[in-house]
Structure 1
């Protein structure tokens, strides 16, 4: 599970398994899945909060789409430099 979409897919599959009358998932196992998912979400929240506090504008890896590369953001003397997929973008601060 590499991103938020994969986590959501897994959680919805768990929910469907819980509701399947033919072969229901064990409730304790479903609770364990939910707790692990919540831990993953909380680590993403911490990462986003850290980026806000340090002035970073990049998207956390967990929130990227599958196969999407993170943007490299570098502070410069006059603003920031973003590098993504071979494209370099300079933004002036102020």
Structure 2
């Protein structure tokens, strides 16, 4: 996956800056479209994390760009039981 959550944030901040540019303001309708698409991307990321949680996988999330957590050690597992 090429884009990460940090890239989405950067695009949203650029959109916000475009709205505030007095010399060449960004069209409000276009900014709303960017916001709508961003929300859909965020929702798919939430769904991805929820799915990983439901199935108990300890995998990395491509959306967040974070490494997978280390599996628990035998000692940590014994503390849970």
Q: What TM-score do the two structures reach when normalised by structure 2?
A: 0.79
**Match runs of 1:23-34 below 5 Å:** 23-34=24-35
Deviation beyond 6 Å, 4+ runs, structure 1: none
Give secondary structure in 2 for the equivalent of 1:63.
Answer: coil
| Aligned Cα root-mean-square deviation (Å) | 2.2
Name whichever structure is richer in helix by fraction. 2
Q: What TM-score do the two structures reach when normalised by structure 1?
A: 0.69
| 1:58 CA drift (Å) | 1.9
Gaps of 5+ in 2: none
Q: Give the number of equivalent residue pairs.
A: 75
Which position in structure 1 is the counterpart of 2:64? 63
Name whichever structure is richer in strand by fraction. 1
- 1:10 lines up with 2:11 in the alignment: yes
